[in-house]
Structure 1
Amino acid sequence: LVTAMMSDDVQEGIDFLPLTCDYLEKAYAAGRVPGGFFRREIGRPSEKETLTSRFIDRPLRPLFPKGLINEIQIIATVLSGDLENDPDVVALNGAAAALEISDIPFHGPVAAVRVGKIDGQLVVNPTNSQLKESTLNLIVAGAPQGLVMVEAGAQMVQEDEVLEALFFAQEQIQPILALISRMREEIGLPKRLEAEPPDYGDLPQRIEALARERIIEAVRHPEKLARRHGMDEVKKEVLAALGEEAEGQEKLVGKLFKEAQKRVVRQMVVREQRRIDGRSFSDIRPITCEIGMLSRTHGSAVFTRGETQSLAVATLGTPSDEQKIETLVGETFKSFMLHYNFPPYSVGETRMLRGPGRREIGHGALAERAISPALPSAEEFPYTIRIVSEILSSNGSSSMATGCGASLSLM
């Protein structure tokens, strides 16, 4: 069951799409009674539910109209599961169909398939049993105009194999797209009118003219903090130059300044073939690797790329330390865990410390998927392994730094 709802009122004062996607697995869907004292689904979502919620969000979010700020909520609930077919791709296709037949403005359709490779043959939507024998686990979401999301795990496959699987997935998506389009034509509701973009006159052009040269100067700073302070100064100069016209409209000027900054930086990247810190497309940031940083741990490493730094710590445990996970198929055990922590100081901010959010769970799972195929089997190495990545500083690619730091800590 997948539902899509949009509020009647806009969320004033925000500059992003307030979209929430929630994927829920009910124990009754597999004929099971939930564990725990209360015997019901309570508390925070499982890791599987969180990752699938993110997986539904990613291909849908870019297809909503720009400027839409009504709150939108998509809830996918697993009502019945045969334990062989993972509901995640079904949930995404259901969300796409729900949006298409609803009155919510949406530039779809979009659809997804999972692709495996078993005995050298590509298989669309393999079962859980088949995936155990598959060298590839590729999820592809696409729209009529092309692919919009790719997520994959593999057992050392070649690039041409992945490319072949992408083209195969694109073919398999077409019938689902056609079906969703037909649903829209036959039972779809009239779409709500999209809000007309506001007319700011020549204010955007004047802001860009005032700020262009100073924006280019500010973004060339190699350090993130210097760039941020430089951009803040440029914004103050623009507000001062506009004078009384900007009074009471500081938020609007800030929004238009941000849009001007994006246009200027994009033009600079396209025309000069250089990134914001002055590097060319082929230049990588300085990399340093240090190991054995912590004396008491089983393994530790600090991986630094530019201003992004990860402290990765590896811990070995016995089989009794495996993580027990309650899923639709029953209890399973996990002997390798990779946890990613992104504290506020890593980006020079302050905020309340709480449990891991969706982003932290997602980034940890990404790095875990990358490391897992390189680990020895349980027969060769019957230990539980836990790696924790503490992001000490972040200026992009912290999940990749986590994968590199995790590798170093294991070695």
Structure 2
Amino acid sequence: GGRPFSIETGKVAKQANGSVMVQYGETVVLVTAVTSDKKREGLDFIPLTVNYLEMTYAAGRIPGGFFKREGRPSDRETLISRFIDRPLRPLFPKGFQNEIQIIATVLSADQDNDPSILGMIGASSALSLSDIPFEGPIAGTKVGRIDGEFILNPTHEELELSDIDLFVAGSENAIIMVEGSAKEVKEEEILEAILFGHQSLKPVIELQKQMKSSLGIAPKEFELQKPEAFLYEKVNAIAQEKLQGTFHITDKGKRREQLEETLQLTFQELAVGDEPSQKMVKGAFEEIYRKLVRKFIIEKKKRIDGRSLSEIRPISCEVGILPRTHGSALFTRGETQVLAVVTFGTSEDEQKIHSLTGETYKSFMLHYNFPPFCTGEVSPLRSPGRREIGHGALAEKAILPVLPSPEQFPYTIRIVSEVLESNGSSSMATVCGSTLSLMDAGVPIKAPVAGIAMGLILEDGETAVLSDILGDEDHFGDMDFKVAGTAEGVTAIQMDIKVRGLSKEIMRKVLDQAKEGRFHILNRM
């Protein structure tokens, strides 16, 4: 964007494993990366925490409220923490079990340059310039479009005029994450915007590489958790046949029971009683199941619930099911079910948001709740977590472009999505349920919006693109790609890729298949 950009290291926060100050225009973000020396045994995920903090002094303000200091993270801070976390997570070595904490603190903010992008670039730089094993660097950028022209890192004013607002993150050769919204834009144009964003990351990645080689920092030796080969072979001999037998069970609950029985049988056969050994066996067991599922899908061109690759689960829609609410709808797709409820309010009910750019008011809110019973589990009820805030924000972005203008419809609208059953893609079911509940409430929306979650399996050069994925397919697949939109075009998109590098052709195939799926769902609605 023609504004000066710099990354500085070695001056502040020197006790962290890695720390950088990133500056773009007059926006400055300090990012630190620290890892603990102790391993957390038996984890099946990377123990990474990302905290993005916007200090009000960065914009020359004093916090509102009684206590006059920054409190719990705002939704914006939570969403940006998730943005930064998602492209970094696949780049740590498998089996790394030392806790990593990344803190991005906004120290100075002008009104033009978005600090969230600096947070992501800073996180990658801090990790690359530390002794933490990290297969980066990566970078992130925002893409807008005004009058058909793509713009990099648009200012707040430019975003008002833009029909695309995309956040793209990637490495030198691969796109890793995309998130954003659009005003009913065609798939082909969204793909162009993604590729345009990715192209622009190369100079920032090159800068990080140069800094790393000039400082000559070698990664520390860390012990990685891996199941021993002989254990893997033993588990495979006991469990393989029984695991393949679960592919004919279409019911999620029954399939889980069968898997649990097979796991317990494996524990007995191998005579493992203590917890660390059980965790090692479970790790090998899950890896074998993952490989078998992927092989089955690639070879048979069929899914574990019996569907073909592009088939969508049975859909049912009901509206007006709650007598005293302003609008309600029950949307069910396979074993995923959402109750969406609309409430109207006056301008006094608008949400007041304090941010670095000043006070703003929000007249449309979408809140997503994911209670434990929706997956048949027991867990304490807490305030909404990062995932719930993230899913709610994605569905909100998807619906916003079709809402009437304040002149046409001068009410505050709140939608609450209660996930009553979940087996994959509850955020996209939220989009469908929300559309139906708005129509039930009599809101003159421009067009109905539907959403679909796509998956991908890349194995030995073979590709399978899956429409309307299950929870297990999300877990074992290489991509989670959510697309929402109307019959005219895309209104929201979110993509996370677990494999290195996804060709333009595959992305086009996924977007085209998602479009077919979206049209099918819109017809059912």
Q: Could you say which residue in structure 1 is the equivalent of 2:454? A: none
Q: Which runs of 5+ in 2 are unaligned?
A: 1-29, 440-525
The answer on whether the counterparts of 2:97 and 2:225 sit within 8 Å (CA) in structure 1 is no
More strand by share: 2
1:76 is aligned to 2:129: no
The answer on whether the counterparts of 2:169 and 2:178 sit within 8 Å (CA) in structure 1 is yes
1:228 is aligned to 2:256: yes
For residue 109 of structure 1, what is the amino acid of its counterpart? P
| Aligned counterpart for 2:319 among listed residues 278, 284, 291 | 291
CA drift at 1:312: 0.2
For residue 156 of structure 1, what is the amino acid of its counterpart? E
1:14 is aligned to 2:43: yes
1:160 is aligned to 2:188: yes
Q: Could you say which residue in structure 2 is the equivalent of 1:326? A: 354
1:27 is aligned to 2:19: no
SS of the residue aligned with 1:301?
Answer: strand
SS of the residue aligned with 2:65?
Answer: coil
Quick one: distance in 1 between partners of 2:315 and 2:104? 42
Report 1:357-376 matches (<5 A): 357-376=385-404
SS of the residue aligned with 1:156?
Answer: strand
Quick one: distance in 2 between partners of 1:65 and 1:188? 20
Quick one: distance in 1 between partners of 2:417 and 2:226? 44
Quick one: distance in 1 between partners of 2:225 and 2:135? 17
| Aligned counterpart for 1:281 among listed residues 279, 284, 309 | 309
The alignment's C-alpha RMSD in Å is 1.2
The answer on whether the counterparts of 1:6 and 1:73 sit within 8 Å (CA) in structure 2 is yes
Q: Could you say which residue in structure 2 is the equivalent of 1:304? A: 332
Q: Could you say which residue in structure 1 is the equivalent of 2:423? A: 395
Report 1:12-411 matches (<5 A): 12-42=41-71, 44-187=72-215, 189-195=217-223, 198=226, 200-242=228-270, 244=271, 246-248=272-274, 249-411=277-439
Q: Normalised by the size of structure 1, how large is the TM-score?
A: 0.97
Q: Deviations over 1:257-311 (max 9, x none)?
A: 1111111111111111122212110111111000001010000000000010000
- The alignment-based identity, stated in percent, is 55
Q: Could you say which residue in structure 2 is the equivalent of 1:2? A: 31
Q: Could you say which residue in structure 1 is the equivalent of 2:481? A: none
CA drift at 1:164: 1.2
CA drift at 1:220: 2.6
The answer on whether the counterparts of 1:65 and 1:194 sit within 8 Å (CA) in structure 2 is no
For residue 155 of structure 2, what is the amino acid of its counterpart? T
For residue 372 of structure 2, what is the amino acid of its counterpart? P
Quick one: distance in 2 between partners of 1:100 and 1:372? 38
SS of the residue aligned with 1:202?
Answer: helix
The answer on whether the counterparts of 1:338 and 1:367 sit within 8 Å (CA) in structure 2 is yes
The answer on whether the counterparts of 1:219 and 1:231 sit within 8 Å (CA) in structure 2 is no
Q: Could you say which residue in structure 1 is the equivalent of 2:509? A: none
Quick one: distance in 2 between partners of 1:265 and 1:346? 24
CA drift at 1:12: 1.6
Quick one: distance in 2 between partners of 1:359 and 1:163? 26
Quick one: distance in 2 between partners of 1:17 and 1:198? 13
Q: Runs of at least 4 residues of structure 1 off by over 6 A?
A: none
Q: Normalised by the size of structure 2, how large is the TM-score?
A: 0.76
Change (3 A) 1:198 1:54: closer
SS of the residue aligned with 1:155?
Answer: strand
